[in-house]
Amino acid sequence: MIRYIWRDGTIRKMTLVAYASGDLGFPTAVDFELFLGLESLLLDRIKQNHYLDPLVRFQGYEVLQRAGKNKGGREYNELNRCLMRLKGLMIGVGSAKTNAAGHVQTKSRRPTFLNILRNVTLPGSVNKEGILTDTYEIVLEDWYCESLLAGNCFVVDHKLFHDVKGHITKLLHQLLSHLFYLGSGSAMQSYSELVEGFELARYTAISQIRQQLGPAHEELIAHRFLSSWELTAVKGNKPRDYMLMWEAGPAWREAEQQLMQRRSYYEIGGDGALPKHHEDVSDPILLIADSQVESRSPEEMAASAAKLLHMVLDISGQRKDPHVWVKMWQRAINTVPHVMIWRRIHEVKERQARGERLNPGSYLYDLVKRDAANLKVPWALGSRSRNTTEV
């Protein structure tokens, strides 16, 4: 996701990339419903205590009930998986700004990586204090606490979300729910960025694009979530690109009104709620961008590197020169953010699951080396000294 934001006299280009948990993958639609239940619980705690402690203890039924779920064994297992996926989910944030003279200044050569949940302890597990807990214990990241206190909370029409049938319709509904929120009922995005995010085929003929996206838009119009949409060619772009523009319908505006009522009820988002970011309380992306990730201890980094190396070697299988192969991967693991490597591992596993014929170890290394080159890591910038398929 890319957005251009005017702030402090400069245009800032914000790039957000979601990285899935290596073993569990991206959160699902069920996870999203459970997350809304969790957020409802957090808002109740804010109203009760007038602040939000990052350490939150709760019983599972408190989230399931708020998410409209039954309280059976399957639902508790879904909640466990949801929390672990949220803990593994990371957001990569890159930032650059353009000053009045038109010069681009990069804020950071490397992206910042953020979590939503810093830690999760499930019932029946031992927490960091060495105590066997019979409740759920989660630790929220500071930026998320600040965002929630600033009034950035979800209001979603669950009936509409469940009533829409098309796969693209559901994706479009989720995207526009966020874009309308940020744009006060208006939104625009390039076609190329949309199909890349939705993992759809990209067409160049406008008739093919209308055939591809038209049914989803018509379904959202029929449910009053969308009032209109336009598709306009972007002049001078090669390959040809288009700009999509949307206007929200009455169903979204009714939900937006509920958001205002919700902020008032929970007493969040008002003046003084977030002094550090008072000018930006309406935009959680800037809260994310200005946050800092808590650095991990050397012991935690070593454990993460060892686990990652074990996973890579397991995927790779036997190599002709295992000693060299291990050295190559140790270098990569020491210089490339681990979440980026986990993302590539997940990508390789997905390709294998689809039955694609590939050498998983070599393919994974090529992907990680490409990421390293994008980060300007020296060993990845030179010519390849050795073909990885030979190792």
Q: What is the pLDDT of residues 303-352, one digit of tens each?
A: 878 888 988 888 888 787 888 999 999 999 988 877 678 767 867 876 77
Cα three-residue angle 114-117-123, rounded to 5 degrees: 160
pLDDT at 81 over 90: yes
The total number of residues shown for the chain amounts to 391
Report the SS3 class of residue 62.
Answer: helix
Measured distance CA(177)–CA(390) in Å, rounded? 49
Sheet-wide strand order for 226-234 = 186-190, 241-248, 226-234
Rounded to 10 deg, the angle between the 167-183 and 191-198 helix axes is 130
Measured distance CA(310)–CA(308) in Å, rounded? 5
Amino acid 156: pLDDT:
60
Rounded to 10 deg, the angle between the 206-222 and 167-183 helix axes is 80
CB neighbours of residue 250 within 10 Å: 10
Measured distance CA(39)–CA(42) in Å, rounded? 5
Tell me the pTM.
0.53
Lowest pLDDT segment from 10-19, 168-177, 278-287: 278-287
Amino acid 206: pLDDT:
93
The runs of H, that is alpha helices, within the chain are: 29-49, 60-66, 73-88, 142-149, 158-163, 167-183, 191-198, 206-222, 250-266, 284-289, 298-316, 322-335, 338-353, 360-374, 378-381
Mean pLDDT of 21-27: 76
Lowest pLDDT segment from 2-16, 97-111, 259-273: 97-111
Measured distance CA(140)–CA(161) in Å, rounded? 27
Query: Beta strand pairing status for 241-248 and 186-190?
Result: antiparallel
Measured distance CA(358)–CA(352) in Å, rounded? 8
Prior bond to 322 cis, omega within 30? no
Mean pLDDT of 196-214: 91
Query: Beta strand pairing status for 136-140 and 117-121?
Result: antiparallel
Using the structure block, give the residue that is written with the tokens 């681990």: 338
Query: Beta strand pairing status for 2-7 and 55-58?
Result: unpaired
Amino acid 109: pLDDT:
47
Lowest pLDDT segment from 19-28, 80-89, 106-115: 106-115
Measured distance CA(282)–CA(287) in Å, rounded? 10
Residues 95, 13: contact at Cβ < 8 Å? Answer: yes
Q: Return the domain boundaries, the chain.
A: 1-153+268-294, 157-258, 298-390
Amino acid 127: pLDDT:
84
H or E, element range at 92: strand 90-98
Mean pLDDT of the chain: 79
Domain 157-258 falls under CATH 1.10.10:
yes
pLDDT digits (tens, 9 = 90+) for 366-391: 989 988 887 778 898 865 444 444 44
Report how far apart, in Å, the C-alpha atoms of 329 and of each of 335, 352, 371, 384 are. Answer: 10, 21, 14, 15
CB neighbours of residue 105 within 10 Å: 11
Please report which confidence band the pLDDT of residue 209 belongs to, taking 50, 70 and 90 as the band edges. Answer: very high
Amino acid 339: pLDDT:
64
